[in-house]
Amino acid sequence: MKVFFEGIFEGVIVMRSIICEQPGVFKWAEVELPKPKKGNSIVNIKRIGICGTDLHAFAGNQPFFEYPRRLGHELAGVVDSTEKTSSALQKGDQVAIIPYMECGDCMVCRKGMPNCCANLRVLGVHFDGGMCEQISVPDDHLIQTNGLTLDEAAILEPLSIGAHAVRRSELKEGETVLVVGAGPIGLGVMSIAEQKGAKVIAMDINEERLRFSREWAKADEVVHAKHNPVEQLKEITNGDMPSIVFDATGNSKSMEQTFHYPANGGKLVYVGLVKDNIAFADPLFHAKELTLLASRNATRADFELVKEAIQDGRINADRYITHRAGFDGLIGEFENWLKPENGVVKAMVEL
């Protein structure tokens, strides 16, 4: 339901928006509705997924971030209007939003890698995001999701990050992989790796999340990170160790420790981002002849892969989303979602 209303300036229609004014402070604001623009569609926001970026920004430890900022980049909605160019989108289409806005001109964009564009601007990070009622989005950054639920459309983005990391790793069927960090991104990595035919080991310090990794992501084995993880991994792999290790923790200590986990000749993929320096022992790195990779964001191909997996029933959105709030209740609930004891995997806001 639209709740747009006349603003304080005569004739100007405004909408409700939530702004992160500074670390730990959300405020309601009234902002002008987006205007039609050639090549863009106006989308009525219906779902806002809450991710680690939002939580870190609220807590004040998100890299590449400035305040005040309107958060929100895991978004699903319905097209309200479109300024048609070559787009096949129609008014009333349900869509998910690709929130990474590339320049299209730099070297990596020309190489087909817009997810790590040299001039990348991410919705809800570098410019105002989707914690509002309506947003204008370039048509080529919209995924039509008429065959999915709104919840399923909203989780395409976080799961696509996992899909991209798996693609970066060049994982082969039958490989043994370790995913460190059983949060929403790590779970996505596990799920896609399992679908690619890997044997998946999940590692975390939270027993509940390890259980969820087995049940939701179909992890074959689990390792508690505080109980001599190297010995556990040796036992599980008969001494071979995992050929690919994904770290999705966003924790510098974990990211440094992960150099001990891959097999000789293996790969280490950093999926999580941390506002810190990472140090490692060069002799260990060279002795194992490791390949170190970063995985940033996702591409349209990753979104389409996840969309297909959801349509085929290989990914269960209902269980992935563990907490909910209406738009009116978001500010009151947000700090609760930061508390580990509340067991949040994915929180979803409904409009």
Residues 6+ apart with CB under 8 A from 250: 52, 56, 181, 272, 273, 274
Length of the chain, in residues? 351
Q: Which two tokens stand for residue 321?
A: 């989303």
CA–CA distance, 119 with 246 (Å, rounded to integer): 26
Helices (H) and strands (E) in the chain, counts: 12, 18
Secondary structure of the chain: what % helix, strand, coil (to 5)? 30, 25, 40
Q: Which two tokens stand for residue 84?
A: 């048609």
- φ, ψ at 130 (rounded to 5°): -105, 15
- Would you state the pLDDT for residue 4? 45
Could you tell me which of 266, 256, 255, 319 has the C-alpha nearest to residue 289? 266
- For residue 134, pLDDT over 50 is answered with yes
CA–CA distance, 169 with 167 (Å, rounded to integer): 5
Q: Does residue 302 contact residue 196 with C-beta atoms inside 8 Å?
A: no
Express each pLDDT in 227-276 by its tens digit: 999 999 999 999 999 999 999 998 999 999 999 999 999 999 999 988 88
- Would you state the pLDDT for residue 53? 85
- Would you state the pLDDT for residue 86? 57
Reported as type and span, the H/E element at residue 14 is strand 13-22
CA–CA distance, 334 with 51 (Å, rounded to integer): 11
Express each pLDDT in 276-308 by its tens digit: 899 999 999 999 999 999 999 999 999 999 999
53 C-beta neighbours (distance < 10 Å), count: 24
Express each pLDDT in 153-208 by its tens digit: 999 999 999 999 999 999 999 999 999 999 999 999 999 999 999 999 999 999 99
- For residue 87, pLDDT over 80 is answered with no
CA–CA distance, 67 with 125 (Å, rounded to integer): 10
- Name the average pLDDT for the chain: 93
Q: Does residue 210 contact residue 220 with C-beta atoms inside 8 Å?
A: no
227-240: string of b/e by CB count within 10 Å (b at 16+)? eebeebbeebbeee
Q: What is the pTM (predicted TM-score) of this model?
A: 0.93
Order across the sheet with 13-22: list the strands: 5-6, 13-22, 25-32
Grade residue 9 by pLDDT with cuts at 50, 70 and 90.
Answer: very low
Grade residue 10 by pLDDT with cuts at 50, 70 and 90.
Answer: low
